[in-house]
Amino acid sequence: MIDNTPNIPYPNPMLIEKVAEQRTIYSVSEITRNIKSLLQGEYPAVWVRGEVSNFKKAASGHIYFTLKDEKAVIRAVLFRGHQQGMKFALEDGMNVIVHGGVDVFEKRGEYQIIIDFLEPEGIGALQLAFEQLKEKLSKEGLFDDAHKKPIPSFPDTVGVITSPTGAALRDIMNVMGRRYRGVHIIIYPVLVQGEGAAEEIAAAILNANVRGETDVLIVGRGGGSIEDLWPFNEEKVARAIFESEIPVISAVGHEIDFTISDFVADLRAPTPSAAAELVVKNREELLRWSRDLFLRLKNSIRRILDQKKQRASYHTADVLFRMMQTILHEKTFTLDDVTKTMLNSIETIGNGKKARFERIVGQLDALSPLKTLARGYALVRKLPEDVPLVSIAQVNIGDETKTRLRDGELFSTVQRKEKTDTQGE
């Protein structure tokens, strides 16, 4: 063996010479080409699992990185053409499964895997894209409460951005038809799934804002797979919602479906029906609110007049007050236009409350001090201070006063004072 013949230099020239007679000598290019075809032939299409490192995106748009595990690395290339349809952003540290063929880059003598498909491991690609966009927009502050616009309590006109033939529109119209008759709906028809849907939805939101004919927008669609709902997870839709001056209610899919649109919208409705109900429910609250304000309006003016009475024996204020008292205690009243229209609307929330409301509106109408003025009572103020007169002690002969009547004001000079016996302090 060679080990036992230390005098013979290694390699043995004789052996080399012998072999040289039958040797084949490759050029670098040739051997590389052979390796290349060997690898290509053996691994035209393989799946490889690994962690992304040394991620680089070239100006050309191609992505270069290294796939690694604990013991080895392999270079990987993802050309731009194969990135289309990849919704999420690749980054270092991500565990992925790739599909592609092994190839040799001859100029560098390096082998690498040319990827034609790549997916994140352990989590769906769309799910990952969703999480990434959510994080990005969240960091930018698009979801902040500070940007949320209040939803109008009583929109006169509701814009609906959805498919004109979809389940969402039918649901919304059913709810509104049943419970919300007095609304004007404008449908902005769009594709809600597939190619171009996101662009259409974003454009419709912008257009609705330009047209400015609606008080609130409902943007959504019925239920479907995550792919179907995907347009509502697209950044352009999210940004259009964020930019909208008109408040946006998102209504995508079912209760359990959350989309990026939901996070950006001023309000998320769990379903399209619920979106319609949110608006309708507000209207019922509104009837209660109006009624409450009527009551308070009545009570407050009464209290004011009451206060005036406490400190005055002044004729006008006193009589005015007693007039009010009388009117308020009367059971009779007339129904004018206000009462009628209020009663019509109140019917929609139940006849039980009708009688009470009728009474309030009747009282309120009768209560108006302007009507009292119309009956011949007056309000007198001392000039130049312009303070209300509640006692003859406030004026001297020769002082100027201003008297308010139903249709205008009189300016007079005090000629004479006479005290009467009506109740005083």
Partner 1 sequence: MSKELSFEVAIKRLEEIVKELENGDIEIEKALTIFEEGMRLAKLCAQKLAHVERRIEILKKGEKDEDVLELFQGLDEE
Residues in the chain: 425
Residue pair 361/297 in contact by the 8 Å Cβ criterion: no
Q: Which is nearer to partner 1, 115 or 161 (CB)?
A: 161
- 148 lines the binding site for partner 1 (CB under 8 A): no
Q: Which of these, 347, 328, 350, lies nearest to 339 by C-alpha position?
A: 347
**Residue numbers 208-237 binding partner 1 by CB under 8 A:** 211-213, 215
**Is residue 47 classed as helix, strand or coil in its secondary structure?**
strand
Element (H, E) at 357: helix 354-367
Shortest distance, position 186 Cβ to partner 1, whole Å: 5
> Other CB atoms closer than 10 Å to residue 51's CB: what's the count?
17
Q: Which is nearer to partner 1, 152 or 223 (CB)?
A: 152
- 360 lines the binding site for partner 1 (CB under 8 A): no
- 12 lines the binding site for partner 1 (CB under 8 A): no
Element (H, E) at 338: helix 337-346
Shortest distance, position 183 Cβ to partner 1, whole Å: 6
Shortest distance, position 129 Cβ to partner 1, whole Å: 31
Distance in angstroms (rounded) separating the CA atoms of residues 75 and 73: 7
Residue 87 φ/ψ, nearest 5 degrees: -80, -30
Strand partners, 387: 382
Residue pair 123/134 in contact by the 8 Å Cβ criterion: no
Only one residue has tokens 């003598």, namely: 109
**Residue numbers 172-191 binding partner 1 by CB under 8 A:** 173, 176-177, 181-189
- 392 lines the binding site for partner 1 (CB under 8 A): no
**Residue numbers 298-357 binding partner 1 by CB under 8 A:** 299-301, 303-305, 307-308, 317, 337-338, 341-342, 344-345
Please give the residue ranges that form the binding site for partner 1 (CB under 8 A): 152-154, 156-157, 164-165, 169-170, 173, 176-177, 181-189, 207, 211-213, 215, 283, 286-287, 289-290, 293-294, 296-297, 299-301, 303-305, 307-308, 317, 337-338, 341-342, 344-345, 364-365, 368-370, 379, 381, 387-388, 404
